[in-house]
Amino acid sequence: MAMYGLIFYLSSLPGSSLPTGIPDVIPHAGEYLLLALAVVYAFRGVRAKRFAAFMIILLLFLAAADEAHQYFVPGRHCSWLDLLYDFAGIGAGLALGHRLFKLPSGSRSPRSAG
């Protein structure tokens, strides 16, 4: 997924190359809000509740993996608070995506959608 590739690239930048004066919540929540919107858009025709749960777990795992990755980047750190911001962005993106893309409700399986 190109969006996560961009997030991973930005996380690979050394701390010295990042702009200062921007609260951490803005880039963390913003990039994961956009990622969640992209995922919801990509799978907007799928109706299964189990798939939605899988999507949430996958996004949370990607955020945690990216935060752990920052531990190894010079000038960056791994922070529980940053992870919380990522999770907030995911929640906001999923909620917004549900409203924007008018996801169907119901419990049909992904195979029967379409």
Domain annotation covers residue 61:
yes
In a domain, 113, yes or no: no
Residue 44 lies in a domain: yes
pTM of the model: 0.79
Judged against a pLDDT cut of 90, whether residue 63 lies above it is answered with yes
Residue 84: inside a domain, yes or no?
Answer: yes
Q: Furthest-apart CA pair in the chain: how many Å?
A: 50
Tell me whether residue 114 is in a domain.
no
90 is a domain residue: yes
Domain span at 93: 2-10+24-104
Tell me how far apart the alpha carbons of residues 68 and 109 are, in angstroms, rounded to a whole number: 33
Q: Please, what is the average pLDDT of the chain?
A: 83
Asked whether 13 and 73 are in contact (CB, 8 A), the reply is: yes
Domain tally for the chain? 1
| 64 within domain boundaries | yes
